[in-house]
A and B are shown apart, each in its own frame.
Chain A
Amino acid sequence: MDDVSPLPDVEIGEIIGMLEYLNDEGGRTDIYEIADDLNLEIDDLVPIIKAAEMLGFVKVEKGDLILLDLGKELINGDENRRKIIFKESLKKLPAFKKLINILLENPEHSIDKSDLLELLSQEMPNDEAKVTLKGLINFGRYAELIGYNPEDKEVYLDKLTEEEDNG
């Protein structure tokens, strides 16, 4: 099993918004210029860049942020296509791989949120485990990879593969 690295504390809308901004700038720009242009603290910008990089949407080269083909495909796609791209990228992340394995091993394909937090806490500091748990649920829900039932506080497997015909 891969080492599970923490997920950055960002929202999907921030990632897509950044990709759209980057696309408007011609697909390549200085990182410090983004911060300057949008009045963002670099501490706020870095996690968004990190998340987009982990997902394979951008790469960083000599202080420049570069939009990759997958990132471009994402912003040009409709909502359904975006979710599929997210889903495929998420499935490659160690934290999601681990979660999917846990869910597949469980007969009901589900796990209590608190149990999942405990498992994550074995891999990383507690603060990061909390952020990672939040990310797993938010990103997973958006991509319809995993679901979360707020009544039972249970994380469950949604759809592992996607049929591209609904929409």
Chain B
Amino acid sequence: MALLELKDIVQLFPLKNKEVVVLDHINLAVNEGEFVALVGPSGCGKSTLLRIIAGLVKPSEGAVLFRNKKISGINLNVSIVFQTFGLLPWLDVTENITLGLEARGISLKERLRKAFKYIDLVGLEGFEEAYPRELSGGMKQRVGIARALVMEPELLLMDEPFSALDAFTAQNLREEILRLWGSGRLSLKSIIMVTHNIEEAIYLADRVVVLSTHPGKIIGDIKIGLNRPRDRDSVEFTELYDKIYSMVVTAKL
């Protein structure tokens, strides 16, 4: 059974004299156990699509189904990791992580128990009482990841999670995500990641979905059957890279 299904999603954006089609009849099913990457040029509406899946944006047409049930409003089975971390500067690491739990009325004792579990899992021990300004970008994103995981979602959405980081820190966090994903210690069933980095998509995902721009349409859905850890220099990797790269370039023209 599909965990998530998008049925004929259309998103219109009104301008002064006309409406622009941002997303054009998107149909996509994500199964349990899948790590899906959405790639496409900027302006293809991939971040909007992520917000529609989370229930933060209502689509102009179409439906989002989670375990066969139509979602209206915020989808509580979903958490998001943002590109720019989205931490509250006046809260320390533990408080940032537990904010969502507090909003759901979970007791302080339980909030802290969960927070320390995920602080441990993402390697933030020692920084429990640090404020965001004291943290590097990589550490901030670890907080962003812990904050998403602590809600114990079935579906994790990541919007360009590594693109605000330097090359090595990004690589370090990619490995961390794969490690967490493969550890079996999470509630997660599936991950959807938006990225413009094709190499990153092939390195991490089981499936790469390619979107075109103006309007955003699915123009490719490629299975990545490579074993992990993946070798970026292998022939198979390079072939997939070439294939997806040419799709993205074509989509832009």
A interface with B by C-beta (< 8 Å): 11-18, 20-21, 24, 38-40, 44, 48, 75, 79, 82-83, 137-138, 140-144, 147-150, 158, 167
Contacts and interface: CB of A to CB of B under 8 A. Distances in A.
22 contacts: A11-B136, A11-B137, A12-B139, A13-B165, A14-B169, A15-B168, A16-B168, A17-B168, A20-B172, A20-B175, A24-B229, A38-B167, A48-B168, A83-B123, A83-B126, A137-B134, A141-B126, A142-B123, A142-B126, A147-B126, A150-B92, A150-B131
B232 interface: yes
Interface string B113-152: 0000000111101110111001011110000000000000
Interface in B228-244: 229, 231-232
Contacts of A18: 168
B26 to A, nearest CB: 33
B134 A13 contact: no
B173 interface: yes
Nearest to A159: B126
B163 interface: no
Interface string B170-194: 1111010000000000000000000
Contacts, number: 80
A24 B231 contact: yes
Contacts of A138: 136
Given A11-B139, A13-B138, A21-B167, 9 more contacts: A12-B136, A13-B165, A17-B169, A40-B167, A140-B126, A141-B130, A142-B127, A144-B126, A148-B130
B130 A11 contact: no
B contact residues, range: 20 to 34
